[in-house]
Structure 1
Amino acid sequence: MYWIQCIENGPRRVNHAAGALDDFIYSFGGYSHKEDYTRITPIDIHICNTHTLKWYLLPKPQLDDSQYNVTPFSRYGHTVVVYKRKFYLWGGRNDRPVPCNRLFCFDPKSRQWSLVSIVGDFVPSPRDGHSACIINDRMYIFGGFEDHTQQFSNDLFYFDFNTSSWHLHQPKIGDVIPQWRDFHSATNLDGQMYLFGGRFDRIEPQQITQTIYDDRLYIFNPEHNSWSLVTAMGEIPCGRRSHSAFVHDGKLYIFGGYNNVIGSHFNDLHEFNPLTLLWRRIKAYGIGSPVPRRRQCCLVIHDRMYMFGGTSPISTSTFTNRSNEIQEIDVLRTTLYDQSDLYVFDFAPTLKTLCLLFLAKQRININILSKKFHQEYQLFTQSTLIRQRSTGETSG
Structure 2
Amino acid sequence: MMFVQSTLASEASVAPDSSSAVTYLAETGLHYTRAVAETGQCSSVAVDPTKTETDPVSNRIPEDKSAGASEDLVTTLSSPSPVEEVTATVVAERCFNGKWTKTEDGDSTETTCVCNRGWKGKECHLCDGRVRLTDPTGLISDGVGNYSVNQQCAWLIDGFAAQRASSSQNSSTADTIDRGPAPTIRLRFEHFATECSWDHLYVFDGDGIHGSPLIGAFSGIIVSDEEEQETVFDNMTLPSSSSNSVTSITPRFQPSLLQKPTPEFTAKSGFVFLFFYSDAAYNLTGFNISYAVNECPMGDTGTPCSGNGVCLDGVCTCDGGFTGAACDRLVCPRNCSGRGTCDREAHRCRCQEGFAGPDCSQASSDGYWDVVPVSNQKRAFQPSPRASHAAAVYRDQLWIIVRCLEVNWKEQGCGIGLQLLRLRLRSPGRKEALSYGKMRKEGSPDSEALTGGEDFMEDSLQFIVSFDLTGRVWITIHSEGDKRPSWRFGHSAVIHGDKIYIYGGTLAREGEVVNELWTFDITSHFWEPVRVVEGECNDLLCGPLASTGHAAVDIGGQMMLILFGHSPKYGYLSYVQEYDFGTAEWRIVRTHGARVQGGFGVAATWDPVSQMVYAQGGAFSQSTSSYVITDAMYAYDPDTRIWSLLTPSGSPRYLHSMVAIDGAILMFGGNPHNDTSTSQGARCFSSELFVYEPGCDSWHRIPFPRQAERDWWGESPERFGHSASVFDGAMYIFGGYNGRMLNSLIRFTPGDCGPRQTEAECVIKQPPGRLCRWEGSKCEPPK
The partner residue of 1:117 within 456, 472, 478 is 478
CA shift for structure 1 position 87: 1.4
1:75 paired with 2:386, answer yes
1:219, CA displacement in angstroms? 0.4
* Correspondence for 1:150 among 501, 511, 525: 511
Aligned-pair distance for 1:314?
5.3
Counterpart residue type for residue 200 of structure 1: S
> How far does residue 225 in structure 1 lie from its aligned partner after superposition?
1.1
Check whether the contact 1:37–1:75 (CA below 8 A) recurs between aligned residues: no
Structure with higher Rg: it is 2
Structure 2 counterpart of 1:281: 645
1:177 partnered with 2:488 = no
Q: CA deviation at 1:95?
A: 2.8
Q: Decide which of 621, 632, 638 is 1:268's aligned counterpart.
A: 632
Report the equivalent of 1:104. Answer: 465
Deviates more, 1:138-147 or 1:50-59: 50-59
Equivalent residues of 1:92, 1:99 under 8 A apart: no
Q: How does 1:248-327 map to 2 (within 5 A)?
A: 248=607, 249-259=610-620, 261-283=625-647, 289-313=649-673, 326=682
* More relative contact order, 1 or 2 (CA 8 Å, 6+ apart): 1
- How far does the alpha carbon of each residue in 1:113-133 deviate from its partner, in whole angstroms, 9 at most, with x for none? 112232212211111111001
Q: Give yes or no for contact 1:87–1:105 (8 Å, CA) kept in 2.
A: yes
Matched residue type, 1:201: P
1:192 corresponding residue in structure 2: 559
Matched, 1:55 2:369: yes
Contact kept? 1:251, 1:274, Cα under 8 Å: yes
Decide whether aligned partners of structure 1 residues 257 and 213 sit closer, same or farther in structure 2, where only a CA change above 3 A counts.
same
Task: Tell me, in whole angstroms, the C-alpha distance in 2 between the residues paired with 1:179 and 1:141.
Answer: 14
Q: Distance in 1 between matches of 2:606 and 2:470?
A: 26
Q: CA deviation at 1:159?
A: 0.9
Q: In structure 2, what is the Cα distance between the partners aligned to 1:181 and 1:251?
A: 23
Q: Deviations over 1:128-164 (max 9, x none)?
A: 1110011122110001111111211110001122322
- Report SS of the residue matched to 1:90: coil
Question: How far 1:96 sits from its partner (Å)?
Answer: 4.5
For residues 155 and 342 of structure 1, the distance between their equivalents in structure 2, rounded to whole angstroms, comes to: 33
Counterpart for residue 568 of structure 2 = 201
The structure with more strand, counted as a fraction of residues: 1
The equivalent residue for 1:93 is 454
2:578 aligns with 219
Partner of 1:237: 596
TM-score normalised according to structure 2 size? 0.35
Q: Distance in 2 between matches of 1:110 and 1:170?
A: 37
Partners of 1:319 and 1:195 in 2: how far apart? 30
State the 1:38 CA deviation: 12
Assess if the C-alpha contact under 8 Å between 1:220 and 1:228 holds in 2: yes
- Structure 1 102/379 Cα, relative in aligned 2: closer, same or farther at 3 Å? same
Offset from partner CA, 1:180-203 (integer Å, 9 cap, x none): 12110111013200001111112x
The CA distance in 1 between the partners of 2:218 and 2:371, in whole Å, is 15
Distance 1:377 1:315, change over 3 A: farther
Distance 1:87 1:258 in 2: 29
Which residue in the other structure is 1:343 paired with? 690
For 1:159, what is the secondary structure of its paired residue? Answer: strand
Partner Cα distance (2:659, 2:265) in 1: 26
What amino acid is aligned across from residue 564 of structure 2 in structure 1?
Answer: G
Distance in 2, matches of 1:214 and 1:83, equals 30
Rate the CA distance shift 1:148–1:302 in 2: closer, same or farther, 3 A. Answer: same
Would you say the 8 A contact 2:543–2:587 is kept in 1?
Answer: yes
Paired AA for residue 693 in structure 2: D
Moved more, 291-300 or 241-250: 241-250
Deviation at 1:317, TM superposition (A): 7.2
CA gap of 1:269–1:85, structure 2 versus 1, over 3 A, is same
Output the CA distance in 1 between the equivalents of 2:660 and 2:630.
Answer: 20
The separation in 2 between residues aligned to 1:138 and 1:117, in whole angstroms, is 16
The superposition leaves residues 51-74 of structure 1 with CA deviations (integer Å, 9 ceiling, x where unpaired) of: 534222245789961x22xx2111
1:247 CA displacement? 0.9
Q: Tell me which residue corresponds to 1:360.
A: none
More displaced stretch, 186-195 vs 171-180: 171-180
Match of 2:445 in 1: none
What amino acid maps onto 1:293 in structure 2? R
Distance 1:272 1:378, change over 3 A: closer
C-alpha distance in 2 between matches for 1:305 and 1:50:
19
Alpha-carbon distance in structure 2 between the residues aligned to 1:78 and 1:145: 11
1:84 corresponds in structure 2 to 395
1:130: which partner in 2? 491
Contact 2:384–2:462 (8 Å) recurs in 1? no
Gaps of 5+ in 1: 1-13, 15-30, 41-45, 203-210, 327-335, 355-368, 381-396
After superposition, the C-alpha distances for 1:312-355 in whole angstroms (9 at most, x for unaligned) are: 125757999x8xxx4xxxxxxxxx53111111112346xxx99x
Instruction: Determine if contact 2:606/2:614 at 8 Å carries over to the other structure.
Output: yes
- Specify every segment of 5 or more residues in structure 2 that has no aligned partner in the other structure, as ranges: 1-196, 198-216, 223-262, 269-356, 400-449, 537-541, 701-756, 769-783
Over the matched positions of the two proteins, sequence identity in percent amounts to 23
Answer whether contact 2:534 2:586 (CA < 8 A) is retained.
Answer: no
Q: Are 2:534 and 2:585, in contact at CA under 8 Å, matched by a contact in 1?
A: no
* Alpha-carbon offset, residue 32 of structure 1: 8.1
CA change 1:230–1:39 in 2 (3 A) is farther
> Distance between the aligned counterparts of 1:142 and 1:181, measured in 2?
9
Tell me how far apart the structure 2 counterparts of residues 51 and 98 of structure 1 sit (CA, whole Å).
44
1:383 aligns with: none
In structure 1, C-alpha distance between the alignment counterparts of 2:517 and 2:629, rounded to whole Å: 28
Q: Deviations over 1:26-61 (max 9, x none)?
A: xxxxx9855899999xxxxx9999853422224578
Q: For the structure 1 residues 275 and 293, does the alpha-carbon distance in structure 2 shift closer, same or farther, using more than 3 Å as the test?
A: same
